Amino acid sequence: MDISVIVPLYNEAESLPELHAWIKRVMDANGFTYEIIFVNDGSTDSSWTVIERLAAENPEVKGIKFRRNYGKSPALYCGFHRAEGDVVITMDADLQDSPDEIPELRRMIVEDGYDLVSGYKQKRYDPLSKTIPTKLFNATARKVSGIKNLHDFNCGLKAYRRDVIKNIEVYGEMHRYIPYLAKNAGFDKIGEKVVHHQARKYGKTKFGLDRFVNGYLDLLSLWFLSRFGLKPMHVFGLLGTLMFFFGFIAVIVVGANKLYALANGIPARLVTDSPYFYISLTMMILGTQLFVAGFLGDLISRSSEQRNNYQIEKEI
């Protein structure tokens, strides 16, 4: 099969027939063999009824229905698991992504050799309250991930080589960072294509401003896991050792000052009256706790089944 198109959706019943017809028209015009996987993320409208009707009338249509709303990442994860195409295309169901981009996205994967191609909505039909935070978010994501050539990490329109989606795990709200996940899995041939963006035709957006806060927290989590996920002792142990060392030196300095004053008959207050004494003890306690946290993290990491799950490209 040439292409699998995965469409996660939540309450998009009005747009589904038009989106299906559009995708079908593009696929038939290019002679592709394909499947369309609609993932119904707990919709409360008639979305599933529409998907059932489309599937009954069109053999290329497949559907997955969640019992409740889990989010876009779980929807993509299930769609990736079921996809059978050599090239996998993801797009949103709100008709803001154009299926006319599919042939060129596939060509970039098949002929240009990219592992992943992300869409770039250079001209957006969104309010400033969405576009300005998006620019800041993408600038941060480029800096942290090291993928300098991407301008729109969260664009729903992407193309993947089949191997990519079978070797990454999209969970939580990590759909924003699929290029980063792919890079961490060893798929570093990541490209970008400027794509056409259309104004929403039906319904309203399902994402609020909280996605920007959650996005930064997820990015921090992903960065930490990619750097120290299998070696937590390297960060917690180092920080704990340094904090304990400086705290211990500070305690010695406080005690030495007291002994010096006593030896020379200089009036001096009790060591326990000095705030530096308590600061030093606190540093030593925190340093010990950080070191123990790193040690326990290392023990947990060693027992993980994924510890030696390396990405092997070829064997002979």
Instruction: Specify the residue for token string 């089949």.
Output: 162
pTM of the model: 0.75
What mean pLDDT is reported for the chain? 86
Q: Do residues 36 and 7 lie in contact, with contact meaning Cβ atoms separated by under 8 Å?
A: yes
- Nearest C-alpha neighbor of 188 from the set 126, 124, 115, 249: 115
**Radius of gyration over every alpha carbon of the chain, rounded to an integer in angstroms:** 27
Q: Which pLDDT value is given to residue 207?
A: 55
Contact 18, 98 (CB under 8 A): no
- Comparing 260 with 105, the larger pLDDT belongs to 105
Q: Minimal CA–CA distance to 195: which of 140, 150, 252? A: 150
Report the C-alpha gap between 61 and 49 in whole angstroms.
13
Distance CA 243, CA 109 (A): 49
145 closest CA partner among 192, 175, 184: 184
Q: Residue 127's pLDDT is what? A: 60
Residue 174 burial by Cβ neighbours in a 10 Å radius (0-12, 13-18, 19+): buried
Q: What is the pLDDT of residue 211?
A: 61
Both ends of the chain: CA-CA distance in Å?
A: 26
Q: pLDDT for 144-153, tens place per residue? A: 888 988 988 8
**CA of 101: how far to CAs of 22, 196, 230, in Å?**
11, 8, 39
Residues 295, 313: Cα–Cα separation, whole Å: 32
Q: Which residue has the tokens 């009256």?
A: 273
In this predicted structure, what is the pLDDT of residue 217? Answer: 74
Coil/strand/helix, residue 265: coil
pLDDT at 27 over 90: yes
Cα 191 from Cα 188, distance rounded (Å): 9
- Whether the CB-CB separation of 165 and 80 falls below 8 Å is answered with yes
**pLDDT value, residue 316:** 62
- Alpha-carbon separation of residue 129 from 96, 209, 239 (angstroms): 18, 9, 39
Distance of CA 242 to the CA centre of its chain: 32
Residue 99: pLDDT above 70? yes
| Res 8: pLDDT | 95
Are the beta carbons of 170 and 73 closer than 8 angstroms? yes
Give the span between the Cα atoms of 6 and 27, in whole angstroms: 14
Superfamily of domain 3-228: Spore Coat Polysaccharide Biosynthesis Protein SpsA; Chain A (3.90.550.10)
Q: What pLDDT score was predicted for residue 229?
A: 66
The pLDDT of residue 107 is: 97
Answer yes or no: are the C-beta atoms of 190 and 147 closer than 8 Å. yes
